[in-house]
Amino acid sequence: MVMSGQAAEAYILMRGCLEAAMYALHIEINPDLRMIWLNRDKDPESRNACINRFQQRKVAKTLQDKSKWLSEIATQLYEHTIDLGAHPNKRSATDCLEIDTDVENKTLTMRYEVGRPDQITDAWEATCHVGACALHIMQLARPDYFKRLEIDAMLDEITKEL
């Protein structure tokens, strides 16, 4: 999405990436949630049980209990994605507006698909940060897998760059 110039829209995907990683950790730490997640569409009671157990604050608490520093980073990134496009809000709608005024006229220009160069640069940076954060969360969920494939060492090296 960022490569196509759709900066605001990319934040929706970044938020989803963070949520998916946190949900995976939440399920890995609480194995009883596996069937609740899988049975979500079984009946209204199952749907309500899933909604209750996967509330964002509960999922975020699981991450916080596992890693306070990573939780702080994930929360900051999550809020950043919401501010810049993952939810309809003032900033996600107005960051692409340009208002030119002179004595006689006001011109309002809205960019629908291609953001300003600074928006694209910021979205690229956010994508890198969100990707690294999501990988760190997944590493908490499956440390043996990351170690066996030596992803942990690569992730540590990448994180130093960010």
> Which of the four pLDDT bands, split at 50, 70 and 90, describes residue 96?
low
Average pLDDT of span 92-107: 63
The mean predicted confidence, pLDDT, of the chain is 87
105: Cβ–Cβ under 8 A, 6 or more apart, which residues? Answer: none
Q: Which residue has the higher pLDDT, 96 or 118?
A: 118
Residue 52 has pLDDT above 90, yes or no: yes
Domain borders along the chain are: 7-161
Largest CA distance in the chain: 68
CA distance 148 to 160: 21
CA distance 99 to 89: 19
